[in-house]
């Protein structure tokens, strides 16, 4: 069965520090992977996506993610965090083998210390 795991519920980093948010997926076919960000009280905004090709993908706001098939992972990174990055981050896998469905992780809430 398809599933997405985000093992870190909360992460706190200092402003200017680097960030890595972990995501592991379970999916039998070729995964289509996404990272979304949600600011408080808002909907989800797409940060980046991976469909095929280069396993290091660049997104908006200076984020990048690396797809590692051998580890079933799609970790999100940013070299230097800004206070405005404080939000909740969701990893998702798209399953298009039957209907178009998405499976989301439980989210990682990022706090940024000044």
Partner 1 sequence: DVKVTQSSRYLVKRTGEKVFLECVQDMDHENMFWYRQDPGLGLRLIYFSYDVKMKEKGDIPEGYSVSREKKERFSLILESASTNQTSMYLCASLAGVQETQYFGPGTRLLVL
Residues contributing to the site for partner 1 (CB under 8 A): 4, 6, 9, 32, 34, 36, 41-46, 49, 51, 90, 92, 94, 96, 99-102, 104-107
Phi, psi of 31 (to 5 degrees): -85, 145
Q: Which of 36, 25, 102, 103 is nearest to 70 (CA)?
A: 25
CB of 113 to partner 1, least distance (A): 22
- Which residues are CB-contacts of 42 (< 8 A; sequence separation ≥ 6)? none
Parallel, antiparallel or unpaired: strands 10-14 and 108-113: parallel
The nearer residue to partner 1, 42 or 55, going by C-beta atoms, is 42
CB of 93 to partner 1, least distance (A): 12
CB of 10 to partner 1, least distance (A): 11
């Amino acid at each position: 069965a398809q599933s997405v795991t985000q093992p870190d519920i909360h992460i706190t980093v200092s402003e200017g520090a680097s960030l890595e948010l972990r995501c592991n997926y379970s999916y039998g076919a070729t995964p289509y992977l996404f990272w979304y960000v949600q600011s408080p009280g808002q909907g989800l905004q797409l940060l980046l996506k991976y469909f095929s090709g280069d396993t290091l993908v660049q997104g908006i706001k200076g984020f990048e993610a690396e797809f590692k098939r051998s580890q079933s992972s799609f970790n999100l990174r940013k070299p230097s965090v800004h206070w405005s990055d404080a939000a909740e981050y969701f990893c998702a896998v798209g399953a298009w083998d039957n209907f178009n469905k998405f499976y989301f992780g439980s989210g990682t809430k990022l706090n940024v210390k000044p």
